[in-house]
Amino acid sequence: MTPRWAAPSIRARLTAWYAIVLTAMMIVYAAATFVAVRHEFLEQFDDQLHEDFETAEGLLIRTADGRVTWASDRRHGPDGDEGRLYEVWSADGKQIHRSGASVALPPIALASAGSSYRYETVAAGPERWRTLSAPVSIDGHAVVLRVSRSEQLLRYQLGEILLVLVLGLPPVVVLAGVGGSLLARRLLAPIEQLASEARRITAERLHERLTVSNPNDEIGRLTAVMNDAFARLESSFDQLRRFTADASHELRTPLAVVRGIGEAAVAQRRNPAEYEEAIGSLLEEVDRMTNLVDTLLRLSHADAGSIRLSREPLDLGQLAREVASSLAILAEERHQTLAVDTADGVIASADRLVLREAVTNVLDNAIKYSPVGSTVAIQLARLDHQALLAIADEGPGIATEHRERIFDRFFRVDEARSRDGGGAGLGLAIAKWAVDMHGGQITVGQRPGGGAEFRILLPLAHPASAAEGPHTTQLHLGGPL
Ligand code: ADP
């Protein structure tokens, strides 16, 4: 089995990042400090060397016998000073005087002595010496003076500084880690709190919301987004609950009817004709329930996003005429006239069966809810890039306050009246779903002479896509209808 490493927590990562960045900054800072200090030390060292040189140049004299020595008024002779060395070289490269440390430095390179000050670092065994040489004239005699200082003390001091800087780093790293961890904890505390609050909100307590401490910071915005999500969840849950309750309620009535018919039939002995009638009524109720259950199943599939549209170029005028002729029998029963007025060649890219159901439901309602002998008008027109299919009747119309909810599931304006017609209040919900799926819109308005007018707007098929032939689109539904 391969080992599974848990990803480190945000707090651990923040702490690590903080420590790494701070340490890197400290290293850069320490290195820069050291370089600057070293530069300054070396410069000062050369300045001191130069001072030594000038002092020596002023104090060296030539005795009558040609020797070079210190002037007699010099109180502190450099002899015995282990850190410094003064040498005087003759023009032909012979050492004619030396005083100070008893160290053996390499002989002076006359050719390179030149005419100006020459700084050099030379090695004397394990030690390094800094030298300054230049031609001088002692009492009118041209010689080369070389002043040297041991770099040992300087190196030692620089080493100390470096040591302090390096030794200072580990505590800084530790402090950075601790500081980073505390900082991360402080930063993440609101998230921890958010998590524990969110845990409290369950399906039963979806009405609760997270507290937004500061709506302007990142956590505040995250909280607001989560609250929005909870609000949407709550409304979806409510819808689902209502749907289930309504569906159960719808099924109860036909079941009660079935029970009633059955009980009445077995209550006493009856003749075959009566039994036949009872069974006929039972089958009718069963049909009604089957329809309802089918519709509910379709809606739940639609909710789950598992219904695929199989689109093809569809002549909407043809579709309207088809639906009208299939429902003509219902209109005839009620002595109604179906006035179909459709433009030709209005093509949408649509799923024939799904769209046909939408139009059927709307037309069926128009016939169902308008009076005997009235006229139902079906009109199709082309508007810019859209097709408009209007179905108008001479019925009671739909009051303004109901127009919003008319497309909700199980919504019926008049429970008693609709139930007689056999509707469960799902027809328009399905119609809306179908039209929405095609990128269209369904609205309801009032006809000028009274009566309802349902308007279905659908995007027209692009000429190019119309030529492509049938194709299938996967649907993704956002939520319950
Ligand atoms: P139903 O199956 O009850 O007809 P629908 O969803 O098709 O359900 O319609 C919802 C309600 O809208 C109906 O119960 C009815 O009250 C009202 N309604 C629908 N169409 C019309 C119409 N053309 N005229 C008047 N009322 C209508």
For ligand 1, the distance from its centroid to the CA atom of residue 369, given in whole angstroms, is 7
Chain segment 430-455, per-residue pLDDT in tens: 899 999 999 999 999 998 888 999 99
Contacts of 361 (CB under 8 A, 6+ apart): 427, 428, 430, 431
Q: What is the pLDDT of residue 259?
A: 92
Q: Which segment, 10-24, 114-128, 362-376, is predicted with the most confidence on average?
A: 362-376
**Which atom of ligand 1 sits closest to the CA of residue 411?**
10
**Using CA positions, which residue lies closest to atom 2 of ligand 1?**
423
Contacts of 459 (CB under 8 A, 6+ apart): 348, 349, 385, 386, 387, 438, 439, 440
Q: What is the pLDDT of residue 166?
A: 92
Contacts of 304 (CB under 8 A, 6+ apart): 477
The answer on pLDDT for 461 being more than 50 is yes
The span from the CA of 351 to the CA of 383, in Å, is: 21
When pLDDT is cut at 50, 70 and 90, the band that residue 422 belongs to is low
**Average confidence score pLDDT of the chain:** 85
For ligand 1, the distance from its centroid to the CA atom of residue 365, given in whole angstroms, is 6
User: Per the confidence metrics, is the pTM higher than 0.75?
Assistant: no
| 431 in contact with ligand 1, CB cutoff 6 A | no
Chain segment 76-92, per-residue pLDDT in tens: 555 557 788 999 988 88
Q: What is the pLDDT of residue 306?
A: 77
SS3 333: helix
Q: Which fold has domain 312-475?
A: Heat Shock Protein 90 (3.30.565)
Q: What is the pLDDT of residue 479?
A: 40
Instruction: Identify the CATH class of 218-304.
Output: mainly alpha
Are residues 394 and 374 in contact, defined by beta-carbon separation less than 8 angstroms? yes
Which one, of 46, 134, 39, lies nearest residue 86 by Cα? 134
| 366 in contact with ligand 1, CB cutoff 6 A | yes
The span from the CA of 317 to the CA of 325, in Å, is: 12
Name residue, tokens 């001072």. 51
Q: Which fold has domain 10-158?
A: Beta-Lactamase (3.30.450)
Question: Best mutation site among 334, 428, 455 for ligand 1, i.e. most ligand atoms within 8 A of its Cβ?
Answer: 428
Q: What is the pLDDT of residue 129?
A: 94
How is the chain split into domains, by residue range?
10-158, 218-304, 312-475
The answer on pLDDT for 387 being more than 90 is yes
The answer on pLDDT for 328 being more than 60 is yes
When pLDDT is cut at 50, 70 and 90, the band that residue 462 belongs to is low
| 295 in contact with ligand 1, CB cutoff 6 A | no
Mean pLDDT lowest among 107-121, 190-204, 246-260: 107-121
| 377 in contact with ligand 1, CB cutoff 6 A | no
| 78 in contact with ligand 1, CB cutoff 6 A | no
The span from the CA of 250 to the CA of 428, in Å, is: 16
Chain segment 162-209, per-residue pLDDT in tens: 999 999 889 988 988 998 899 899 988 888 888 898 888 887 788 889
Q: What is the pLDDT of residue 341?
A: 94
Q: What is the pLDDT of residue 481?
A: 42
